């Protein structure tokens, strides 16, 4: 069986260190917002090149906290791509704001800037691009579109840990080039905890101070609550795990790019379309398109190759949004939902396994 992702194999070398640190934690009882949490926030901000980082309970909360920190009027519009995980849209609703969908580009997993330009109006307060599959959205073009307007730029970086903003002349990393950046640290991410976790980065001192309070029930000092916040703190145990895994992230991303490059050069089948990924894509997923998806699934199952769907429904196709958003059409996002399938991109895939995957795809 060629696994889609083997976390045990990927992290096995780190387990001894992690267990030793957790054992020490049991002795000192530093479980909530402990020393290791502060270390992780500092190290992650350095990694991204941002001034500040605020950890939280999960990636969905990261987005919700980011939006709430702006104190926007209720039902202000937030523009997001029609193809993303449900959390991106849910966070907007949780923050009492209105999601407005924008199509993705053709054969692209990121937001279409042409369609984005059409959707902006006086009610637009936030642009929320998603670096889906680890492919970086065109932030430079988005900045041009919103220049001179009172519109915030918050990027969903849940799948783009370690990617670079290709459109930034200084080659800065994702997490350092927008007003606020939000990361999920779910176990299967390029940087993942062993449970739920998330982190937010920003270069704004004011937003940093507000976010620190927001994630801790509106408080920095016990029993002093300045406003209504969320209970969204990162456990120290997860911070211990993340501190060790962060050291391996760049190397694992390098391996992912190497595998993706092999796929790019060697997958050749007229029944399969490959997506256009950004230059610094970190390939959280490697997604291909085929109109014969059911047939391909049977072939992958027969050859014991695991696969995934990222994602089988665009946002407006989800049951919860069909009434409010379902009337609109988003051609490119709908094609991704209907025809896409994710193939293994585990950084520790063996060469023979990668070659087998390509052979099966080319013979399909």
Q: Which domains does the chain have, with CATH numbers?
A: 7-243 (3.40.640.10), 249-362 (3.90.1150.10)
pLDDT at 330 over 80: yes
Q: Please state the rounded mean pLDDT for residues 269-278.
A: 97
* 195 close to 222: Cβ distance less than 8 angstroms: no
- Residues of the chain above pLDDT 90, percent: 97
Residue 167's pLDDT is: 73
Q: Please state the rounded mean pLDDT for residues 297-307.
A: 98
Report in angstroms the alpha-carbon separations of 185 from 59, 80, 159, 266, 320: 7, 21, 9, 31, 25
Buried b (16+ CB within 10 A) or exposed e, 22-33: eeebeeeeeeeb
Residue 143's pLDDT is: 96
* 203 close to 176: Cβ distance less than 8 angstroms: yes
Closest CA to 239 of 58, 27, 55: 55
Closest CA to 201 of 34, 38, 33, 55: 55
Q: Please state the rounded mean pLDDT for residues 132-155.
A: 97
Residue 168's pLDDT is: 67
Residue 192's pLDDT is: 98
Closest CA to 340 of 293, 300, 281: 293
Closest CA to 161 of 183, 179, 180, 140: 183
Residue 166's pLDDT is: 80
Residue 200 backbone dihedrals phi, psi, to 5 degrees: -120, 140
Q: pLDDT tens digit string along 192-227?
A: 999 999 999 999 999 999 999 999 999 999 899 999
Residue 45's pLDDT is: 98
Mean pLDDT over all residues of the chain? 97
Residue 23 backbone dihedrals phi, psi, to 5 degrees: -60, -40
Say whether pTM exceeds 0.85.
yes
Residue 171's pLDDT is: 83
Q: pLDDT tens digit string along 54-92?
A: 999 999 999 999 999 999 999 999 999 999 999 999 999
Residue 26's pLDDT is: 95
Q: pLDDT tens digit string along 82-140?
A: 999 999 999 999 999 999 999 999 999 999 999 999 999 999 999 999 999 999 999 99
Residue 226's pLDDT is: 95
Residue 169's pLDDT is: 63
pLDDT at 157 over 90: yes
Which DSSP helix (H) or strand (E) runs through 288?
Answer: strand 286-289
Report in angstroms the alpha-carbon separations of 311 from 83, 133, 191, 203, 322: 8, 10, 20, 31, 16
């Amino acid at each position: 069986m060629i696994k889609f992702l083997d976390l045990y194999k990927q992290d096995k070398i780190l387990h001894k260190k992690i267990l030793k640190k957790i054992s020490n934690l049991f002795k000192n009882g530093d479980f909530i917002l402990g020393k290791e949490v502060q270390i992780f926030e500092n190290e992650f901000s350095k990694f991204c090149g941002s001034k500040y980082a605020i950890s939280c309970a999960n990636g969905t909360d990261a987005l919700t906290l980011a939006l709430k920190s702006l104190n926007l009027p209720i039902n202000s519009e937030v523009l997001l791509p029609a193809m993303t995980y449900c959390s991106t849209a849910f966070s907007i609703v949780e923050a009492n704001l209105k999601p407005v969908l924008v199509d993705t580009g053709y054969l692209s997993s990121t937001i279409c800037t042409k369609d984005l330009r059409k959707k902006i109006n006086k009610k637009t307060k936030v642009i929320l691009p998603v670096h889906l599959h680890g492919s970086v959205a065109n932030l430079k073009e988005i900045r041009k579109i919103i220049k001179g307007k009172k519109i915030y730029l918050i990027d969903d970086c849940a799948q783009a840990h370690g990617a670079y903003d290709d459109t930034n002349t200084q080659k800065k990393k994702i997490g350092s080039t927008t007003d606020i950046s939000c990361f999920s640290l779910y176990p299967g991410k390029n940087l993942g905890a062993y449970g739920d976790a998330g982190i937010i980065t920003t270069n704004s001192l004011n937003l940093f101070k507000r976010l620190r309070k927001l994630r801790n029930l509106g408080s920095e000092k016990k029993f002093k609550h300045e406003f209504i916040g969320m209970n969204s703190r990162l456990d120290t145990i997860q911070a211990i795990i993340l501190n060790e895994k962060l050291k391996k992230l760049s190397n694992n991303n390098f391996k992912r790019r190497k595998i993706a490059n092999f796929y790019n050069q060697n997958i050749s089948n007229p029944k399969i379309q490959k997506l256009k990924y950004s230059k610094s894509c970190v390939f959280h997923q490697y997604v291909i398109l085929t109109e014969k998806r059911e047939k391909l699934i049977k072939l992958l199952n027969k050859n014991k190759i695991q696969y995934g769907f990222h994602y089988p429904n665009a946002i407006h196709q989800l049951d919860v949004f069909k009434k409010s958003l379902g009337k609109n059409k988003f051609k490119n996002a709908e094609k991704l939902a209907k025809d896409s399938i994710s193939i293994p991109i585990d950084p520790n895939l063996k060469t023979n396994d990668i070659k087998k995957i390509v052979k099966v795809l080319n013979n399909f």
